[in-house]
A and B are shown apart, each in its own frame.
Chain A
């Protein structure tokens, strides 16, 4: 029954078409011009969104994304293809985001903001990736619901957030998530389950069922 649910959700959810990372890596290793630029273009959105969901700041996400690709540029020669390129890329991305998060927490100790300061540029209101034909009130309601989802993810503990983001937002398999995070599949499933449960609790008053 659970597999059916997963499959059904996977069909309904928007799982992006995966670019061929191995091909980019091969071309880059062969010294092909523009291969690395193509790689950045192909994966920049995924890395930026991963960083943004984990760091909750466009500025930090922007910087982290650049760091990820700089790191990839330096280390892609060591990529031996024992795992999928995307999994390896996500592992690099997660490491950089974790470091960034630690830096951010340290920096917060010295940071000062005033009530008068304009709020940091927040994300554009999260909207459903699939356009829906809904009435304006229903659209507003959905926008509010998506905002709540966004907030719920932001409030998750980092380890749960990582697992939920990779699985539910980035559409990775449990196996790939486990490799990227660096833990067992059982742990990944547990974290995803607990993360989803936490999000559900937050959304409960707004769920229609």
Chain B
């Protein structure tokens, strides 16, 4: 028996869990090998330490409280106590919240439908469209699909240009509430898009869908597709192609940056070093309450970009990323001193965080990190150590989207920590991300094994995508209410 075999069995050897032959083999090896004897002594020391773990004191009057509880259970809890218990369950609260939302939506829809017919002439005039009796006004007032079909049908049947955009205040919310209602239009498939976004594929798809919905057997021609594309253009706004190109350029530049990072990471693997393409100092400053800012305010680098409600911004080297107005407004109130205001002013229905781990090599480590992150116990243990960590959510499976849902009208905090990113050894530098209302930070490690930063506060729905490619960690945040940031960290191993 060699050292490796012995060490693998040493713990079972101590508990006597091996068969007689193996026990003898391990025993003989330990007698002749000083390193394995050391291993055995370390295990013995561990067992001693386990035995030495002190007892935590029991809370006072346990006997009395047990007695009272037995009495309560014997007589049965009062009706109101039972009712209160039921009302306090998360399931009830979730159901109540859902009912409330449904009620508000129903009221809004009914109210909206009642009010719209008065606006119709103005809308028709603004759009310059003769509907020709193809659709009734009431039909056109139906949200989403009715409007889509009407628009598509008009363009197909009459050959006239469809309404430029059915502007609805409610769509501002769909588009992320980062824009004024008049900046938000309906893309045609129920999705709201900002004026700055032009997605030809989306429009093409809509026209095809509309054609299918109307029973057309043939596929729309390219001219019709062009007409469909025109649906989404406002008069005077002819920059869609340019913006599209910019989007493609942004994506290309991000890919290019990632490729550079990969190459560099392979070239110079220096343990303990940590670099970031996004500006970590800026991100750190962004998380500082004094500045009340965000990563958007100062993130720089060729690969930095922001996606807000479908609009894409990018910044070249040394440039700051633009900040949507709404985002700024929330960022202003997200400082430590204003947290109370934000807490009172923002109702969080739920928070969704999606973590995607896409690299098979580091999947196991990422999985372990996510599992640790989502483990309440780990969070609490870390909290006890003063590491300022917390953990929420469900167990995660790497390679699949991980969704954490948090429902509350209070603050939330998210910290995603990858303490061991990539192909790692012990005590590798880490990359971490944090999200908050108007504050988003990408962290650099304080020390190799230290946990990462986090931000606080916020509301709305957030999508977070963490992509780990080799030794780099690209984090994309999409916050549909407050703003979005992108950071790209690089971790050397």
Query: A and B bound?
Result: yes
Which residues of A are in contact with B by a Cβ distance under 8 Å? 1-3, 5-6, 9, 12-15, 37, 40-41, 44-45, 48-49, 52, 56-58, 61-62, 65-66, 69-70, 73, 104-116, 119-120, 122-124, 126-130, 145-147, 149-151, 153-155, 164, 168-169, 171, 174, 186, 189-190, 192-194, 196-197, 199-200, 203-204, 207-209
- B432 within 8 Å of A by Cβ? no
Taking a contact as CB atoms under 8 Å apart, the answer to whether B383 and A168 are in contact is no
B residues near A (Cβ < 8 Å) are 11-17, 23, 27, 30, 38, 41-59, 62-63, 65-67, 69-70, 73, 90, 93-94, 336, 339, 348, 376-378, 380-381, 383-386, 388, 390-394, 404-408, 410-413, 454, 456-457
Identity of the chain A residue whose Cβ is nearest the Cβ of B374 in the assembled complex: A108
The answer to whether residues A190 and B49 also contact, given A48-B58, A108-B392, A146-B54 and a CB cut-off of 8 A, is: no
Question: Is A169 a contact of B38 with CB atoms below 8 Å?
Answer: no
Known: A115-B456, A155-B381, A196-B47. A58 touches B59 (CB 8 A): yes
* Complex contacts, B23 vs chain A, CB 8 Å: 2
Given contacts A190-B12, A196-B43, contact A110 B48 (CB under 8 A): no
Q: From DSSP, what is the main secondary structure of chain B's interface residues?
A: helix
Collect the chain B residues with CB atoms within 8 Å of residue A196's CB: 11, 14, 43, 46-47, 50
- B residues in contact with A65, CB < 8 Å: 58, 62, 66
Task: Tell me the complex Cα distance, A12–B63, Å.
Answer: 32
Partner of A186 from B17, B336, B392 at Cβ < 8 Å: B17
Contacts of A193 in B (CB 8 A): 11-12, 14-15, 17
Are A108 and B15 in touch, CB under 8 angstroms? no
Interchain CB contact under 8 A, B12 and A129: no
Residue from A3, A189, A200 within 8 A of B43 (CB atoms): A200
B384 to chain A, nearest CB (A): 4
CA distance A119 to B90 in the complex (A): 22
Q: Do A120 and B90 touch (CB < 8 A)?
A: no
| CA–CA, A154 and B381, complex, Å | 7
**Smallest distance from the beta carbon of B280 to chain A beta carbons, Å?**
19
Residue of A nearest to B336 (CB): A116
The answer to whether residues A116 and B456 also contact, given A66-B66, A203-B49 and a CB cut-off of 8 A, is yes
Q: Which of B45, B47, B384 counts the most A-chain CB atoms under 10 A from its CB? A: B47
Instruction: Identify B44's interface contact among A5, A58, A61, A113, CB under 8 A.
Output: A5
B458 to chain A, nearest CB (A): 10
Contact A109 B55 (CB under 8 A): no
Known A2-B13, A58-B59; judge A168-B47 contact (CB<8 A). Answer: yes
Cross-chain contact A192 with B15 (CB below 8 angstroms):
yes
Given the complex of chains A and B, what is the CA–CA distance between A186 and B19 in angstroms? 11
**In the complex, what distance in Å separates the CA atom of A30 from the CA atom of B273?**
71
Cα separation A110 to B54 with both chains bound (whole Å): 33
A178 to chain B, nearest CB (A): 12
A109-B392, A110-B405 provided; 12 other pairs, C-beta below 8 A?
A2-B13, A6-B16, A108-B391, A112-B348, A114-B411, A122-B380, A130-B52, A146-B49, A186-B17, A189-B17, A208-B45, A209-B41
**Contact A199 B54, CB 8 Å, known A40-B62, A110-B94, A209-B45:** no
Residue of B nearest to A3 (CB): B16
A149 with B49, Cβ < 8 A, contacts A66-B66, A196-B43 known: yes
The interface residues of chain A, by DSSP majority, are classed as: helix
Q: Which residue of A48, A153, A171 has the most chain B CB atoms within 10 A of its CB atom? A: A48
B348 partner residues in chain A, CB cutoff 8 A: 112
- CB-defined contacts of B63 to chain A, threshold 8 Å: 37, 40-41, 44
Contacts of B412 in A (CB 8 A): 112, 114
State how many angstroms separate the Cβ of B255 from the closest Cβ of chain A.
35
A71 → B minimal CB distance (Å): 10
Q: How far is the CB of B125 from chain A (nearest CB, A)?
A: 49
Name 15 interchain pairs, CB-CB below 8 A, sorted by A: A1-B27, A5-B14, A13-B50, A13-B52, A49-B55, A65-B66, A70-B73, A73-B70, A108-B376, A112-B408, A128-B52, A129-B54, A146-B49, A186-B17, A196-B50
Query: Is the beta-carbon distance between A190 and B17 smaller than 8 angstroms?
Result: yes
Are A128 and B55 within 8 A (Cβ)? no
By a CB distance below 8 angstroms, the chain A residues around B41 are 209
CA distance A124 to B381 in the complex (A): 13
Nearest to B15 among chain A residues (CB) is: A189
Report the 9 A-B pairs with minimum CB-CB distance, sorted nearest first: A13-B51, A193-B11, A189-B17, A168-B50, A112-B408, A122-B384, A110-B90, A114-B411, A200-B46
Name the residue among A48, A114, A169, A186 with the largest chain B CB count within 10 angstroms: A114
Task: Using CB atoms, name the residue of chain B closest to A132.
Answer: B52
